Chains A and B, each alone.
Chain A
Amino acid sequence: MPLRTPPLRGAHDDRGASFTDFGGWEMPVEFDSIKTEHTAVRESVGIFDVSHMGEITVSGRDATALMQRLVTNDVTALGVGDSQYAMVTDEDGVVLDDTVVYRLSDESDATAEDDGASYLFVPNAGHDEEAYDRWTGYRDEWGLDATVENRTEAYGMLAVQGPDAESLVASAADGDAADLSRFEARWVVVDGVECWVARTGYTGEDGFELIVPWDETDAVWAAFDCQPCGLGARDTLRIEAGFLLSGQDFDAEENPRTPYEAGVGFTVKLDTESVGRDALARANEDGPDEAFVGFRLTERGVPRHGYEITNADGEAIGTVTSGTVSPTLDEPIGLGYVPVEYDDPGTDVSVVVRDRPKSARITTTPFIDQ
């Protein structure tokens, strides 16, 4: 299957990016160096092309009912222009994907009717089609009146992240974007292009994400004069922040997890009608057997996805799901699952690197000060 390409593929090539296959998309992994890009975001500002993220819109009379039953969070809590982090789970409460749900503003969506609520949510790379199928399948099964559209290839998506993101976005945008509060979003004109601008991100820094009409993505990208960053730095930044990566830190097939195990129980509202609610209520009552934790290696080495975690007796107790050498701390750090009896910060464990156990210590996340 050919890779899907972001609207900025040519511009990235001209800028000397190297590319990687990510969720079926050919995306820039590195422009200059991961450390340079990472440091720009921690200390000033950087811009990412995240057009591999999906965009699904849901509108119509029963839009709220459909959303409420397919994500774990309570979408009725969203006012116009609010957003929330949520899980998409199956009927057993297993996380299929994580997402951000935005309630769109009525002005921008002339097709919205009735209670006027319409939504945009952002599946991870390569999950847009399954999300679309899930939403339309359940809509039809439940006989709901909602229009579901997969707009993934109608929109590009950019992320401007870092302590200087606010001033950069303020200077590039016609409207007021800088006064958006965390998880707030609205339509803002940037360089003549109307964009859905949200104060969200995936780096552990302040920042904005912009959903941009596909053909205008290059113009909006060019309106931000700052360090271009690839998926390599996006990964090191999110690991330092302790954020989950779909398909890597959980995977419905290879590493099925409930939101409670994955450390995102706060996204589950049990007083809603979500498809996994009954299973999640039981999981919450029983408490998880395993927990998603951060750890630091206390000797040299690089923890990587799939490496074994062992206890002081050398018994296998868990698995690393993400790891790197933190560019901010210059120390090896990682994320993974261990039984709850090992999840207290300060617990000594080991990570097996090429058959050799390396000392590690369970640590609170985020790894960096925020």
Chain B
Amino acid sequence: MSIDVPDDLGYMESHEWARDGGTVRVGITDFAQDELGDVVFVELPDVGDDVSKDGEFGVIESIKAVSDLYAPVTGEVTAVNERLFDAPELVNEDPFGEGWMLEVEANDPDELDDLMSADEYEKQVQ
């Protein structure tokens, strides 16, 4: 099965992606959603909450598994994808698009440099 790994994102070992676009958008990868299977529940922080790099920011549950979610940067949550509360299957259907989870105003955008490139992440999940 082929796994989508977009070139323009940074990746964590724990299978979150980060997209730098002023604020940092965060989600989980295609590989991660495929491993989890049908996502049935997503627990996310509130707008205004602080998250810290490599710290837990939420929980994702599929029918068969429960996983913590980890933040790629330290900062304040500026947006949360509330659609996932009623339609968690968006994480399966479009993990890099409509299945996004958070936007974070990063305190130190240089933290993004610590993330893996698409090539590096692809090697990890092969």
A contact residues vs B (CB 8 Å cutoff): 16, 29-30, 33-35, 232, 236, 300-302, 304, 324-325, 327, 332, 354
Residue B64 interfacial (CB < 8 Å): yes
Contact A232 B66 (CB under 8 A): no
Residue B1 interfacial (CB < 8 Å): yes
Contact B61 A34 (CB under 8 A): no
- Other A-B pairs, 9, CB within 8 Å; known A301-B41, A302-B41: A33-B37, A33-B92, A34-B37, A34-B38, A34-B63, A324-B40, A325-B41, A325-B63, A332-B41
Query: Top 3 closest A-B pairs, CB basis?
Result: A325-B40, A35-B38, A34-B63
Contact B38 A33 (CB under 8 A): yes
User: 24 interchain pairs (CB within 8 A)?
Assistant: A16-B1, A30-B37, A33-B37, A33-B38, A33-B92, A34-B37, A34-B38, A34-B64, A35-B38, A35-B63, A232-B37, A232-B63, A300-B85, A301-B41, A302-B40, A302-B61, A302-B66, A304-B66, A324-B40, A324-B63, A325-B40, A327-B38, A332-B41, A354-B59
Q: Mark B24-42, 1 if CB is under 8 A from A, else 0.
A: 0000000000000110110
* Bound CA span A16–B64, Å: 17
Across the interface, which residues of A come within 8 angstroms of B63, CB to CB?
34-35, 232, 236, 324-325, 327
Contact A29 B64 (CB under 8 A): yes
Tally of A-B Cβ pairs under 8 angstroms:
34
* Chain B interface residue count, Cβ-Cβ cutoff 8 angstroms: 12
Across the interface, which residues of A come within 8 angstroms of B59, CB to CB?
354
* Bound CA span A332–B40, Å: 9
B contact residues vs A (CB 8 Å cutoff): 1, 37-38, 40-41, 59, 61, 63-64, 66, 85, 92
Across the interface, which residues of B come within 8 angstroms of A324, CB to CB?
40, 63
Across the interface, which residues of B come within 8 angstroms of A302, CB to CB?
40-41, 61, 66
Across the interface, which residues of B come within 8 angstroms of A232, CB to CB?
37, 63-64
Q: Which residue of B lies closest to A20 (CB)?
A: B64
* Bound CA span A29–B59, Å: 22
- How close is B43's CB to chain A, nearest CB, in angstroms? 8
Contact B85 A30 (CB under 8 A): no
Across the interface, which residues of A come within 8 angstroms of B64, CB to CB?
29-30, 34, 232
- How close is A134's CB to chain B, nearest CB, in angstroms? 32
Q: Which residue of B lies closest to A29 (CB)?
A: B64
* Bound CA span A229–B89, Å: 20
- How close is B6's CB to chain A, nearest CB, in angstroms? 23
Across the interface, which residues of B come within 8 angstroms of A325, CB to CB?
40-41, 63
